[in-house]
């Protein structure tokens, strides 16, 4: 079984998220969606998500393309979730360049070194949360 992992806030699952999840799924047989905890989102974005963690988690559990929903790490850049699930592939959104750089810099800390791929954008001028949550 080839495991794929994605990361996100998933503050209201929309068609952009669904397209990302569907494309990520093409890289393997089992998709793990990691949901960022509220305090991490607040630290990174300067505000809490519009939807609380429990609801964001629950919404992803209902998505057909997702096999498992996982809780994101409680601290930045520790990547415990990567070592816990040992994905073969980490599929990142087109706008997750900082996460990509941090993952690449921490490869030596992973028990299993996943391939890192960047997914295509899907109508970013329409479905990016920066636009939807204004």
Q: Where along the chain do its domains lie? A: 3-132
CATH class of 3-132: alpha beta
Instruction: Record the pTM.
Output: 0.90
Q: Which helix (H) or strand (E) holds 104?
A: helix 97-105
pLDDT in tens, 70-91: 999 999 999 999 999 999 999 9
* Contact (CB, 8 A) for 35 and 73: no
pLDDT in tens, 20-51: 999 999 999 999 999 999 999 999 999 999 99
Report CA-CA distances (Å) from 103 to 15, 16, 121.
26, 23, 20
- What's the distance, CA 86 to chain centroid? 15
């Amino acid at each position: 079984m080839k495991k794929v992992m994605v990361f996100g806030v998933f503050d209201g699952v929309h068609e952009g998220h669904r397209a990302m999840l569907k494309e990520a799924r093409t890289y393997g047989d089992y998709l793990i969606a990691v949901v960022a905890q509220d305090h991490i989102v607040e630290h990174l974005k300067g505000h809490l998500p519009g939807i609380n963690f429990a609801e964001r988690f629950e919404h992803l559990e209902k998505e057909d393309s997702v096999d498992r929903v996982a809780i994101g790490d409680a601290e930045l850049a520790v990547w415990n979730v990567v070592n816990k699930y040992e994905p073969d592939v980490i599929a990142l959104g087109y706008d997750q360049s900082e996460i990509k750089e941090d993952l690449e810099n921490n490869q030596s800390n992973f028990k299993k070194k996943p391939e890192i791929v960047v997914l295509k954008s899907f109508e970013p001028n329409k479905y990016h949360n920066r636009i939807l949550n204004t």
